[in-house]
């Protein structure tokens, strides 16, 4: 079976698999100073954003990723008021964070304004909180921003980044985590996308070590489906300056004032339960 030119294919060379979506037309294409940002219409997944040939986000299934990168950490923190998102230019994570009434300010720092430009046109539902008075969108280097952040000024940091290769690599280091640790308040939490538990176990192990090196007291990995990324199975790894991350504001989840499509209290509890091979690898 071969795929016609209408199919966009991303090869995951390290694991010898590939994922393809059937497109009908390219509706956005812009070379920014940093990367090539494209958006396609697809036959089954709605709009589909591609950056430098890598699948990023589709209309159909982004809800799982955006909800799982935000709500578990938000409902673990006792009272998240000041939140920073590193990356996240499609603005879907920003939207989820701003659903929480406790938030006074959420700053999204993505180096590439073209990603947000593409999202505002083709994923308007993800951008519906961009004009919320609590939202601040900065298009500068997030690593430098974090180094410059006032100490103990943030409750939650969400690293909604690309893969740990090229410019994204430093976001997975103990040095960057130390800058985050410094910027967080004493009960602060960081959460970061941490690739596939099946394909990138060593990276997840390294992240836990680097969080400890940076001074975080506890860390946990949550797994969830991610249909368009390698292995269809993804993770986020949280770390806290204090507290053990096992508990969350369950009553607040059950009484939350907004709807979700994936996340709920049972899903949160379930995501805290690691698959046996992951539990052993992180023991």
- What is the binding site for its own copies (CB under 8 A)? 1-3, 7-11, 14-22, 42-45, 53, 60-61, 64, 198, 223, 225-227, 231-233, 259-267, 269-277, 279
- Shortest spacing between CB 15 and its own copies, in angstroms: 4
Nearer to its own copies, 71 or 82 (CB): 71
Question: Exposed e or buried b for every residue in 88-117, given b needs 16+ CB within 10 A?
Answer: bbbbbbbbbbbbbeebeebbbbbbbbbbbb
Nearer to its own copies, 129 or 231 (CB): 231
In contact, 183 and 210? CB cutoff 8 Å: no
- Shortest spacing between CB 56 and its own copies, in angstroms: 15
Q: What is the DSSP letter of 120?
A: H
Nearer to its own copies, 123 or 263 (CB): 263
**Residue in 104, 106, 76 with CA at minimum distance from that of residue 91:** 106
- Shortest spacing between CB 61 and its own copies, in angstroms: 6
Q: What is the DSSP letter of 200?
A: -
Kindly list the strands in the beta sheet with 218-225, ordered across the sheet, starting from the edge strand earlier in the chain: 135-138, 105-109, 82-87, 154-160, 184-193, 233-240, 218-225
- Shortest spacing between CB 197 and its own copies, in angstroms: 8
Q: Which residues, at least 6 apart from 128, have a Cβ–Cβ distance to it below 8 Å?
A: 95
Nearer to its own copies, 37 or 135 (CB): 37
In contact, 83 and 159? CB cutoff 8 Å: no
Q: d(Cα 153, Cα 137) in Å, to the nearest integer?
A: 17
Is 160 among the residues known to form the active site? yes
- Shortest spacing between CB 181 and its own copies, in angstroms: 28
Nearer to its own copies, 138 or 265 (CB): 265
In contact, 142 and 173? CB cutoff 8 Å: no
Catalytic member of 132, 148, 160, 252 = 160
Active site residues per annotation: 160
């Amino acid at each position: 079976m071969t795929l016609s030119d209408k199919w966009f294919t991303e090869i995951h060379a390290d694991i010898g698999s590939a994922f393809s979506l059937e497109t009908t037309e390219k509706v956005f294409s812009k070379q920014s100073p940093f990367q090539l940002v494209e958006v396609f219409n697809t036959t089954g997944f709605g709009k589909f954003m591609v950056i430098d040939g890598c699948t990023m986000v589709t209309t159909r299934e982004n809800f799982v990723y955006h909800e799982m990168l935000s709500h578990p950490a938000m409902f673990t923190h006792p009272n998240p008021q000041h939140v920073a998102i590193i990356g996240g230019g499609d603005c879907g994570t920003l939207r989820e964070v701003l659903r929480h009434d406790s938030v006074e300010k959420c700053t999204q720092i993505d180096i590439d304004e073209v990603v947000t430009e593409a999202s505002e046109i083709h994923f308007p539902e993800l951008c519906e909180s961009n004009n919320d008075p609590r939202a601040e969108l900065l298009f500068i280097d997030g690593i430098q921003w974090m180094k410059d952040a006032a100490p103990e000024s943030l409750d939650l940091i969400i690293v909604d980044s690309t893969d740990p290769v090229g410019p994204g690599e430093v976001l997975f280091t103990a040095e960057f985590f130390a800058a985050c640790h410094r910027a967080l308040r004493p009960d602060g939490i960081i959460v970061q996308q941490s690739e596939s538990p099946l394909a990138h176990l060593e990276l997840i192990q390294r992240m836990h070590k680097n969080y400890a090196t940076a001074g975080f007291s506890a860390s946990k990995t949550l797994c969830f489906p991610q249909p368009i990324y390698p292995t269809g199975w993804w993770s986020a790894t949280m770390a806290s300056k204090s507290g053990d991350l096992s508990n969350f504001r369950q009553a607040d989840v059950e009484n939350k004032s907004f709807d979700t499509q994936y996340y709920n209290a049972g899903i949160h509890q379930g995501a805290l339960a690691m698959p046996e091979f992951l539990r052993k690898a992180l023991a």
